[in-house]
Structure 1
Amino acid sequence: MERKTFNPLEWLDKPGQQVKVTEQSKYNTSTQLEEVERIIQGIEASHIDVTSAYSDWVNIGFAFADEFGETGRNLFHRVSQYHPEYSTQECDKQFDNCMKARGQGVSLKTFFYHAKEAGIPLTTPKQERQAYSPASRSENHSKNLNTQAEIKKEPEQMPTFSDSLFPELPEFLQKVIQIATSNEERDILLLGSLVAISACLPKVSGIYDGKRVYSNLFLFITAQASAGKGRLVHCRQLVNPVHKEFREQAKLHKQHYELELAEYNANKGKVEGIEKPEKPPEKMLFIPANNSSTGAYQLLGDSDGKGLIFETEGDTLAHAFKSDYGNYSDGFRKAFHHETISYYRRTDREYVDIESPCLSTVLSGTPKQVAALIPNAENGLFSRFIFYYMNVRPVWKNVFASQTANGLDDYFDALGNEFFSLYSSLKAGQDVQFFLTADQQDQFNQFFGQIQEKYMSIQGIDYMATIRRLGLIAYRFCMIFSALRIMETGETSSKMICEERDFQASLAMVKVLVKHSSKVFAELPEDIQKPTRLNRKEKFLNKLPKHFNRQKYLEVAAALSIPHKTAEGYITDFCKSGLIHRESQDNYINTSIEDTQDSEDAKEN
């Protein structure tokens, strides 16, 4: 079996750590064990610790397990013994983990590199004389320069979905991806269509971890500019007929409302007990990301708690979250798990609950736009998203490759009409509950248990939420695949059982997506710790009540000997960072204080 190329960024435990590239000697299989033994003898003779960094220790274990199997255990102990916290039990436990994750691409070059860095010679005296001859030194220097130049030119290539995955997909999805001209284009069309469709499967649900869940997914396609992620926009056309139906309903309701309002105005003061008609809901599938928090929640509520945010520029949502009036990040995160979203409508003085919201999201953008939306690795948004990091192909694309008769817009419009038939059937039918078989449930738990163990040792505790939510994402993939099979069979029932091919396709996708998420995770900026000692600005924030106006915050500032101009600057900064929400003119909410019923009552009074 061909060995995978070692990718340090996938294994190092510190995101952003610079990768050192070294030119190592090549060893054939018969001499590798001898060379490792010779190097370890040098380590033992000098009592040198080559495992001071945790990531180095883990990678050496992977290298030994992959190359020597159980024979490598003793070698791993001998290398590890000079670390001040060496424990036989912990060393055995780590090697057991390495044995379970064999075949991950960490080669012996990793061990040779760390040994060389520690001062252990890698060559015999004869080889050293040969290596340091003027001719060979010049040749090696030239090779090193060429290697470094190649590394600078070629960015890290992320894996794409296997070719064997696509023939097993539902026929509708095969039609979606058949117009793709590259592996990356094929992948984003598949993911984009799944997430768009996830917003439009009414009455389909399943039980996951004891809770009822629906098919909704969040997706972020990230790549450098002009990498080809623009093809994603066609996935919107697949569900555009659903949006049009919502708008037609809203139009009819509005016409009916206007007739009732005209009748009310004509009879107002003349007919006793006549009531003013209520404004109809603004139903729509596509919810604009550039929205106020109240506006976004109201549109979601008007559409029975169902919606799709589809933005080809990810910073549109990021800017909304950072604005004074548009920070609906909290409700956005709640929607992923269908948790109730509560908000207050000032116009009607009405407190509204959106129960079991079903929101899906498709975003695309550059890596910098990811960081703008998700400022650090601890942000709860990260683990809720499917990430796909597109490879950049520096070659001219054949712009005449598409063979559709009337262009891609007509092609995807036709697919949208085809999907609308399934949507209408599900909407008019009975509730459908999705199930995995008992064997699939066992496979599912074993699969994600292994992935969690592997990535916990690589990325640490902060990555655990991503792995666990990938489990829910895989379950939702299975649900969507199973629902699309109805288009082939025409059969619907109250119990929908996952086919084995759809289950295996979902797991195959997760194997790739977990690596894409790991790359994006490693490139997020590290969270800067705040100072523990409260400064004047923090004291000012902590003294502000839950609800206040300008007069009140100036009183607080005066009590802390803070000039009025400085206090105004503080308030502006707090609003930008989301610590304070400007509800209306001269009406502020201190969001750093926990909501209580008393504060709500005080607000009403």
Structure 2
Amino acid sequence: MEKKTFNPLEWMDNSNQQQQYTEQNYQPVTDDNSEVEKVIQNIEANHIDIAPNYNDWINIGFAFADEFGESGRSLFHRVSQYYSGYNTKECDKQFDNCLKSKGQGVSLKTFFFLAKQAGVSIVTQSNDQYNAKSSNHKSSKATPVQEYQEEEPIKEIMPTFPKFLYPELPEYLQQVVDVATSDEERDILLLGSLAAISACFPKLYGIYDGKKVFSNLFLFITAQASAGKGRLVHCRQLVNPIHKELREEAKLHKQHFELEMAEYNANKGKVEGVEKPAKPPEKMLFIPANNSSTGAYQLLGDSDGKGLIFETEGDTLAHAFKSDYGNYSDGFRKAFHHETISYYRRTDREFVDIESPCLSTVLSGTPKQVSALIPSAENGLFSRFIFYFMNVKPVWKNVFASTTDNGLDDYFENLGNQFYELHKLLKSNGDFQFYLTADQQEQFNQFFSEIQVKYLNLQGMDYMATIRRLGLIAFRFCMLFSALRILETGDTSNKLICEERDFQTALAMIKVLVKHSSKVFGELPQEETKPTRMNRKEKFLYALPRNFNRQKYLEVAKKLNIPAKTAEGYITGFIKSNLIHREQQDTYTNLSIEENKDVEDAKD
């Protein structure tokens, strides 16, 4: 271990000025053992070396020795273990020296400060208290102590779909996105339309991982208020004619039922063997999210197990899931994989199975509404969604600019009528089976294998379910693109082969969406017993330029408050995972941004 043995004279000479700041200016809420334990758990979860230099390391030893005595030894080891030259014997020897020198005036405040400086989340006193203490301290010293200021963090801009993707879309989708006035708006119109129409292909299926799957998608568009996600509502109009058709059908059934009931009531007790007519199903496409669990299942069952939840306020569904009577989260998750949903209808004393449910979902909301719906990734709900995190642009939008003659409502109503014609055509035919070619299957497996390796390194095992379900989502994208091509070709044969352009478009979309999902995943609330997910490693990787050297990556690490030793460890891990390539000594290439190289070249 390269950290040398403690020298009291050297420590007193070198640490005085830093000690003044760390002890007096940085104040944690509490200094008790439970707070230290929480911070160390956070350090262990993120493998952070909070004391890369000698003075910081021995100060932590003094703090633990002074506060906890011999019981602080294990804490010292736990904090020291992420130093590249960590050695248990030398660490023990150092702590022995700290115990002997007990009373040097170093407290736990130093430990909290160093942890905070290394990027570990620490709860501190209010800014007013902090500023007051800082002001009092400076006025009492002849030489002002330099205040600690964090560098402004690197702003994270989420990527949009590459421009080359849009001319390759089916013509119908090109019409959908043609009215967009920004890259983000175009993306959400594409995703919203795909998710909405995914509920309307009951006879389209493919075989994925040995199972029969349909085209249904779950989508959540998230952004701060007034960011522009409201455009998503127009995607509802694309399938509104189908909903109206089902409601008209239900209306006719109800009228017929009322006539039968009138006849039944007239003959009841007069004619032997008269049976009471059964209530007709409430057929509909749009299933309201604000529903009881039995109500939601019954509406889905009445519509032959097919439906679409379309809510522009994501907390509508969140509130339903949190209520005792409305928690149908279990059935909601099952529907993604078309697993049988079973429920008991108390009124009719009837046990009901909905086999192969086909439910699609379109939601939008703020990041807090995402957290309200999905408080953690553990139950699998998160991984079933496509997430798109919109960038907020503080620029006033020209609200009078128009890309249509009669407004967007008329424009999307017309597109809805076009899709309705396709829906009727496919409904009148038999089943359609979708296929990828052998070459596409090979590319598909290779693509997702590489994505999985990359994000297991960045996000850990908790993110693996998201990667694997993005594979199914990509397959469903291809299904939908192929079905929409029928509007162009008129070919209604029962075997759909994916065109290469549609296959490549789906993969290009996934390259972007995996980053959006990772962004939302990193912001999910954590259980109190677990350390906060820092996700610094991923931010560090994406902040690196395409070509860089050691000096450059240390500059980036400093901006993100990542210690140099930790950054070196990240670089080593990235190289092993093929996220970064070392061309030669002190020359690196960031392969994680290679996928955008063609786009950047086109812009240049």
TM-score w.r.t. the length of structure 1 is 0.64
Distance change in 2, residues 1:83/1:474 (3 Å): farther
Aligned 1:144-293 pairs, distance under 5 A: 148=151, 151=153, 155-293=155-293
Measure how far apart 1:282 and its partner are: 0.3
Pairwise CA RMSD: 2.6
Aligned AA for 2:492? T
Q: Residue 379 of structure 1: CA displacement? A: 2.8
Cα deviation for residue 400 of structure 1 reads 2.0
Match of 1:523, as an amino acid? E
The 1-side partners of 2:374 and 2:522 are apart by 13
Cα offsets for 1:369-420 (capped at 9, x unmatched): 0000001121310000000000000000011222211100000000000000
Q: Residue 377 of structure 1 contacts residue 526 of structure 1 at CA under 8 Å; is this kept in 2?
A: no
The letter for the 1-side match of 2:480 is I
Kindly tell me: are residues 345 and 479 of structure 1, through their superposed partners in 2, closer, same or farther at Cα, counting changes over 3 Å? same
For each residue in 1:108-150, what CA deviation from the matched residue of structure 2 results, as whole angstroms up to 9, or x when unmatched?
A: xxxxxx9x98xxxxxxxxxxxxxxxxxxxxxxx9xx99x946x
Superposed, 1:286-325 pairs within 5 Å as 286-325=286-325
Q: Find the aligned partners of 2:494 and 2:227 in 1 and give their Cα distance.
A: 43
Q: How far off is 1:81 after superposition?
A: 6.0
Tell me what 1:39 maps to. Answer: none
Q: CA deviation at 1:527?
A: 2.2
Q: Counterpart amino acid of 2:278?
A: E
**TM-aligned CA deviation for residue 526 of structure 1:** 1.1
Give CA-to-partner distance per residue, 1:273-318, whole Å, 9 cap, x none: 1111000000000000000000000000000000000000000000
> Counterpart in 2 of 1:448?
448
Q: Which amino acid aligns with 1:434?
A: F
SS in 2 for 1:300: helix
Query: C-alpha distance in 2, partners of 1:331/1:299?
Result: 13
Compute the displacement of 1:56 (Å).
6.6
2:393 maps to 393
Partner of 1:377: 377
Structure 2 residue matching 1:176: 3-state secondary structure? helix
Cα drift, residue 431 of structure 1: 0.5
Moved over 3 A (4+): 51-57
Greater displacement, 437-446 / 402-411: 402-411
1:207 Cα offset (Å): 0.3
Cα drift, residue 483 of structure 1 = 0.3
Q: Over residues 454-510 of structure 1, what are the superposed CA-to-partner deviations in whole Å (9 max), with x where a residue is unaligned? A: 101111110000000000000000000000000001111111000000000000000
Amino acid at match of 2:286: F
Of 401-410 and 434-443, more deviation after overlay is shown by: 401-410
Paired position in structure 2 for 1:333: 333
Residue 76 (structure 1) aligns with: none
Change beyond 3 A, Cα 1:405–1:253? same
Q: How far apart, CA to CA, are the structure 1 residues paired with 2:155 and 2:258?
A: 59
Counterparts of 1:83 and 1:502, CA distance in 2: 52
Q: Is the 8 A contact 1:305 1:359 kept in 2?
A: yes
Structure 2 matches for 1:447-526, cutoff 5 A? 447-526=447-526
Partner deviation per Cα, 1:1-48 (whole Å, 9 max, x = no partner): xxxxxxxxxxxxxxxxxxxxxxxxxxxxxxxxxxxxxxxxxxxxxxxx
Residue 352 of structure 1 aligns to which amino acid in structure 2? V
Change (3 A) 1:148 1:337: same
What is residue 433 of structure 2 aligned with on the other side? 433
What is the alpha-carbon distance in structure 2 between the residues aligned to residue 435 and residue 83 of structure 1? Answer: 54
The aligned counterpart of 1:100 is: none
1:581-596 mapped onto 2 (5 Å cutoff): none
CA distance in 1, matches of 2:360, 2:500: 26
Q: SS of 2:205's equivalent?
A: strand
3-state SS of 1:388 partner: strand
TM-score by length of 2: 0.64
Task: State the number of aligned residues.
Answer: 405
- State the alpha-carbon separation in 2 of the partners of residues 319 and 524 from structure 1: 17
3-state SS, counterpart of residue 320 of structure 1: helix
In the alignment, which residue of structure 2 is the partner of 1:413? Answer: 413
- Partner AA of 2:500 in structure 1: E
The alignment status of 1:82 with 2:85, answered yes or no, reads yes
Aligned-partner residue type, residue 163 of structure 2? D
* SS of the residue 1:496 aligns to: strand
Cα distance in 2 between the residues matched to 1:81 and 1:259:
82
Q: Distance in 2 between matches of 1:319 and 1:155?
A: 32
Q: Is the 8 A contact 1:308 1:359 kept in 2?
A: yes
Structure 2 runs not aligned, ≥5 long: 1-42, 50-81, 89-114, 119-145, 531-604
Matched to 1:230, the amino acid is G
SS in 1 for 2:200: coil
Paired with 2:396 and 2:47, the residues of 1 have a C-alpha distance of: 39
Q: Aligned partners of 1:82 and 1:290: how far apart in 2?
A: 57
3-state DSSP class of the match of 1:507?
helix
Distance, in Å, in 1 between the alignment partners of 2:433 and 2:304 is: 20
Structure 2 CA distance, aligned partners of 1:412 and 1:390? 22
**Structure 2 vs 1, CA of residues 521 and 271 (structure 1 numbering), >3 Å: closer, same or farther?**
same
Deviation at 1:222, TM superposition (A): 0.5
The CA deviation at 1:324 is 1.5
Q: CA deviation digits over 1:317-339, x for unaligned, max 9? A: 00000112000000000000000
Opposite residue 82 of structure 1, the aligned amino acid is G
Q: Partners of 1:346 and 1:242 in 2: how far apart?
A: 30
What does residue range 509-588 of structure 1 map to in structure 2 within 5 Å? 509-529=509-529
Q: Name the amino acid aligned to 1:386.
A: I
Q: In the TM superposition, what are the counterparts of 1:3-42 in structure 2 within 5 Å? A: none
Query: 1:479–1:84: structure 2 CA closer, same or farther, 3 Å change rule?
Result: farther
CA contact (8 A) 1:217 1:361 kept: yes
**Within 2, Cα distance between the matches of 1:148 and 1:395?**
25
**In structure 1, C-alpha distance between the alignment counterparts of 2:203 and 2:176, rounded to whole Å:** 24
SS state at 2:512 partner: helix
Quote the offset at 1:268 in angstroms: 1.3
Question: What is the CA distance between 1:84 and its match in structure 2?
Answer: 5.4
Instruction: Work out the CA distance in 2 between the residues paired with 1:179 and 1:434.
Output: 30
Whether 2:407 is the aligned partner of 1:404: answer no
Q: Which secondary structure state, in structure 2, belongs to the residue aligned with residue 362 of structure 1? A: strand
Aligned to 1:350: 350
Q: 1:56 to 1:213 in 2, by over 3 A?
A: same
Confirm or deny: 8 A CA contact 1:482 1:498 kept in the other structure. Answer: yes
1:528 deviates by: 3.5
1:363 and 1:379 map into 2 onto residues whose CA distance is 19
Q: Deviations over 1:191-247 (max 9, x none)?
A: 000000100012000000000000000000000000000000000000000000000
Q: Structure 1: how far apart are the matches of 2:193 and 2:401? A: 21
For 1:226 and 1:509, locate their aligned partners in 2 and report how far apart those are by CA, in whole Å.
Answer: 25
Superposed CA deviations along residues 153-186 of structure 1, whole A, max 9, x for unmatched, are x842100000000000000000000100000000
Amino acid at match of 2:85: Y
Q: Distance in 2 between matches of 1:498 and 1:428?
A: 22
1:52 touches 1:83 (CA, 8 Å); kept in 2? no
SS at match of 1:199: helix
- Fraction of identical pairs, as percent: 77
User: Whole-Å Cα distance in 1 between the matches of residues 394 and 449 of structure 2?
Assistant: 38
Q: What residue identity is the alignment partner of 2:418?
A: E
Kept after mapping to 2: 8 A contact 1:202/1:423: no
Are the counterparts in 2 of residues 377 and 525 from structure 1 also a CA contact under 8 Å? Answer: no
